[in-house]
Amino acid sequence: MSSECIFCRIVAGTISAKRVYEDDLCLCFADLHPQAPTHLLIIPREHIASQAHAQEEHAALLGHLMAKAAQIARGSGLDHGYRVVINTGAEGGQTVDHLHLHLLGGRHMGWPPG
Ligand code: 5GP
Ligand code: ZN
């Protein structure tokens, strides 16, 4: 828990968010500035600064996040596909330094990404 971290504050409940799923390991909530008709963020409760900070000890937790992304996508009706994104570091476009998966869907996604 980092008191300066926006996502840790969402986990703690001191910043509100539209929560759609939570369990003892993770939290899923709506992105404040949606980039697609469905735009959810899935975060570990534990503060991990980025994908670049992931260690072998996080393997089960990271697998849990991916499995929950699939479950939440199914529950959100994203039957025609979706995209899971982990922006990492400055060049990766990361703006909040608490590891998070973007779950984007409801429109066609272009490639390559910007
Ligand atoms: P990043 O740019 O780090 O990959 O993604 C951070 C995401 O967090 C952005 O899509 C941004 O809109 C979202 N975000 C930033 N601050 C907040 C907030 O206070 N609440 C919610 N729900 N989303 C936020
Ligand atoms: Zn954090």
pLDDT tens, residue by residue, 59-77? 999 999 999 999 999 999 9
Pocket probe mutation, ligand 1, options 4, 5, 6, max atoms within 8 Å of Cβ: 6
The average pLDDT across 88-104 equals 98
Homologous superfamily, domain 6-105: HIT-like (3.30.428.10)
Ligand closest in space to the Cα of 5: 2
2 has pLDDT over 90: no
The average pLDDT across 12-34 equals 98
Residues at CB less than 6 angstroms from ligand 1: 6, 15, 17, 29-33, 41, 87, 93-96
The average pLDDT across 53-63 equals 98
Check residue 3 and give its pLDDT: 77
Provide the token pair at 27. Answer: 């939290």
Residue ranges of alpha helices (H) inside the chain are 6-12, 59-75
Residue 100 is among the residues annotated as catalytic for this protein? yes
Each domain of the chain, given as residue ranges in start order, spans: 6-105
Residue 114 binned pLDDT confidence (cut-offs 50, 70, 90): confident
SS3 of residue 103 by DSSP: strand
Minimum-distance ligand 1 atom for the alpha carbon of 85: 4
Positions of E strands within 1-114: 19-22, 26-30, 38-44, 82-85, 101-105
The rounded distance, in Å, linking the Cα atoms of 21 and 110 is: 27
The rounded distance, in Å, linking the Cα atoms of 9 and 97 is: 12
* d(CA 105, ligand 1 centre) in Å: 16
